Amino acid sequence: MKINQAFAILSSASDAHTARIITEHFGKMSRFAVWRAARCLRRGVPVAKIIHEKWFYGIPFYTNRHTLDPRPDTETLVESVLGDWRGVNGVRILDMGTGTGCIIISVLKNIPNASGVAIDVSRRALRVARKNAQRHEMGARMDIVRGTFLTPNIHHEQFDIIVSNPPYIAPGDTRVNAGATFDPKIALYAENNGLCAYEQIADTARSYIKPGGLIYLEIGSGMSRAVRGIFARMGWKFVRADKDLTGKIRVLVFSL
């Protein structure tokens, strides 16, 4: 099918901007591929899930239905880490719940000689992270391991930086946008009103942080007080809160 024909069909299913992204990404598309993409658009499937790519911190990442699409809000997490560690040689990073690997890969690309470990419970997400590590030539600088927040499976190594964007939406929360319904639920929802993952991380990460190390956590809107309370009870010291571009507290930083 000619590009102008594909563009017209996709525009009718969504809008011209979305149609342009898809046609520019794929180039020439078969009639079936156009029909399938148009059907996805009518269902509300995010463009990233159709083209299997999402840009994050100036870098393109492969994504699919087994991973959370990288969000602009999460770039605040990367900025927080780089603000403290950019230019520091040889730091070790642990990314808990890595998904696409976008956080640790973005950090590694901006800290010389840094290396680290990325963990996730989902085998399918780990395959995506490996694909992105290879794409961005980070395979030699990061290990990708199947593990959970409670059992990271990293043999008690200690790290300068621990970073996590854990699931933090309470089950049944109606504020989730329509696009998120196409992300894996395990990457979005957490029990105990969205706080379960923070409780597990606060407990487990104590064994993996070096003296002088810092842990960086993305949080949802209005969660600062609750998450700070969890970490205080586990003996962590609050360092600071960083806001995203909308002025909401998006990242909390702690030390031991």
Model confidence pLDDT, tens digit, residues 111-132: 989 999 999 999 999 999 999 9
Model confidence pLDDT, tens digit, residues 67-94: 999 999 999 999 999 999 998 989 999 9
Residue 254, pLDDT score: 98
Residue 13, pLDDT score: 94
The answer to whether residues 148 and 117 touch, using CB atoms and an 8 Å cutoff, is: no
Which amino acid appears at position 83 of this protein?
G
- Choice between 175 and 233, residue whose per-residue pLDDT is larger: 233
Model confidence pLDDT, tens digit, residues 130-172: 999 999 999 999 999 999 999 999 988 999 999 999 999 998 8
Q: Across the strands, what pairs with 53?
A: 62
Model confidence pLDDT, tens digit, residues 226-237: 999 999 999 999
Nearest to 58 by CA among 110, 21, 96: 110
The answer to whether residues 216 and 80 touch, using CB atoms and an 8 Å cutoff, is: yes
The answer to whether residues 72 and 248 touch, using CB atoms and an 8 Å cutoff, is: no
**Position of tokens 């190594």?**
157
Residue 156, pLDDT score: 80
Q: Is pLDDT at 242 greater than 80 in this prediction?
A: yes
What CA–CA distance (Å, rounded) separates 159 from 86?
A: 16
Q: For the residues 92-105, what does the mean pLDDT come to?
A: 98
Q: Which of these CATH numbers, 3.40.50.150, 3.90.1300.10, 3.30.70.20, 3.40.50.300, describes 72-255?
A: 3.40.50.150
CATH 3.40.50.150 residue ranges for the chain: 72-255
Which amino acid appears at position 54 of this protein?
K
Measured between alpha carbons, how far apart are the two ends of the chain, in Å? 60
Structure tokens at 207: 């064994």
What CA–CA distance (Å, rounded) separates 157 from 209?
A: 8
